[in-house]
C-alpha cells in the first residue's frame, strides 16, 4: 500500500500559512491526502480487525459457557450465607428485645415495691412520683456472633430497637438526624401519628406536633 509519510506531511502542513487562494487550495489538497491515507489504512486493516472481533466474540462466548456454572454456584452460596447472616441478626434483635422486656418488668416491679413502701409510710406524694416516673433501662447488645460474608459488599442498616431512647437522643442532641420537610409526613406515618390524630382530633397533644384540619 502506497501511503504518504505522516511525519513529512505534518511538517509541510505546519509550515504552510494560508495567505491567498493558492495556499488555501494547497491546504485543501493536503487535507484530501490525509483523508485518503486514513481511508486506505482502514481498508487495509479491516480484515484483521474483523478477524479479531470474530475471535473475541467466540472467546467471550466460550468464557461465558465455562464460568456460567460457577457463577450459579457462587450466587447460591452467597444467598445461603446472607440468609444465615440475616437469621443471626434476627436472633440478636430478638435477644435484645427479650432482655429489654425482662429488664423493664424487673424495673417496674422494683418501682412498685418502692412506691408501696412510701405509701406504707404515709408518703403518698412521693409514692405517686415513683410510680409515675418513666422506667429507664440500659441494655447492652447481646454477644451473638454474626459472621461476615466474604467477597460481598458490606451494607450497614440501622435497626431501631427502642423508639423512646432514640427520641430522647434526638432531643438532647446526641443523635444528629437529617429530617427535611419532605420526610416529615413519612415520619408521622411511621410513628402512627395519623391514627392518633384521627382518634383525638384537634385535642391531640404531642410535643413538636400540631394537628391541621381540612375537609375532603
Q: Where are the domains of the chain?
A: 6-149+157-177
- pLDDT of amino acid 59: 95
What's the pTM? 0.45
Q: Which residue has the higher pLDDT, 189 or 69?
A: 69
% pLDDT > 90, the chain: 30
Query: Which residues have C-beta within 8 Å of that of residue 148, sequence separation ≥ 6?
Result: 85, 154
pLDDT of 216 > 60? The answer is no
DSSP 147: P
**Highest mean pLDDT of the ranges 104-113, 147-156, 174-183:** 104-113
Q: pLDDT per residue over 63-120, tens digit each?
A: 999 999 999 998 899 888 888 888 887 888 888 888 888 888 888 888 888 888 888 8
CA distance 148 to 85: 7
- pLDDT of amino acid 19: 94
Q: Mean of the pLDDT values across residues 32-46?
A: 92
CA distance 54 to 60: 10
C-alpha Rg value of the chain to the nearest Å: 38
CA distance 190 to 81: 31
Q: pLDDT per residue over 41-66, tens digit each?
A: 999 999 999 999 999 999 999 999 99
Query: What average pLDDT does the structure give for the chain?
Result: 81
Burial of 95 per CB tally in 10 Å (0-12, 13-18, 19+): middle
CA distance 37 to 7: 13
- pLDDT of amino acid 1: 42
- pLDDT of amino acid 67: 94
- pLDDT of amino acid 215: 59
Q: Mean of the pLDDT values across residues 188-198?
A: 78
The greatest distance separating any two alpha carbons of the chain, rounded to the nearest whole angstrom, comes to 120
DSSP 159: -
Beta bridge partners of 209: 206
CA distance 80 to 159: 22
Cell 446526641 sits on residue: 174
Q: Which residue has the higher pLDDT, 171 or 62?
A: 62
Amino acid at each position: 500500500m502506497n501511503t504518504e509519510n505522516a511525519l513529512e506531511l505534518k511538517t509541510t502542513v505546519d509550515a504552510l500559512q494560508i495567505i491567498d487562494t493558492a495556499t488555501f487550495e494547497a491546504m485543501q489538497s493536503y487535507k484530501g491526502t490525509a483523508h485518503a491515507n486514513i481511508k486506505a489504512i482502514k481498508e487495509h486493516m479491516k480484515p484483521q480487525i474483523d478477524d479479531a472481533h470474530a475471535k473475541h466474540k467466540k472467546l467471550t462466548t466460550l468464557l461465558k459457557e465455562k464460568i456460567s456454572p460457577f457463577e450459579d454456584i457462587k450466587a447460591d452460596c452467597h444467598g445461603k450465607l446472607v440468609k444465615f447472616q440475616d437469621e443471626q441478626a434476627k436472633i440478636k434483635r430478638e435477644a435484645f428485645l427479650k432482655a429489654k422486656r425482662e429488664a423493664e418488668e424487673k424495673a417496674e416491679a422494683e418501682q412498685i415495691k418502692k412506691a408501696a413502701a412510701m405509701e406504707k409510710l404515709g408518703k403518698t406524694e412521693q409514692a405517686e412520683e415513683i410510680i409515675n416516673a418513666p422506667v429507664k433501662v440500659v441494655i447492652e447488645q447481646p454477644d451473638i456472633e454474626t459472621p461476615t460474608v466474604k467477597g460481598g459488599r458490606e451494607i450497614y442498616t440501622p435497626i431501631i430497637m427502642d423508639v423512646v431512647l432514640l427520641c430522647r437522643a434526638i432531643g438532647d442532641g446526641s443523635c444528629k438526624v437529617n429530617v427535611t420537610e419532605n420526610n416529615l409526613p413519612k415520619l408521622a406515618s411511621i410513628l402512627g401519628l395519623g391514627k392518633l390524630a384521627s382518634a383525638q382530633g384537634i385535642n391531640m397533644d404531642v410535643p413538636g406536633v400540631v394537628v391541621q384540619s381540612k375537609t375532603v
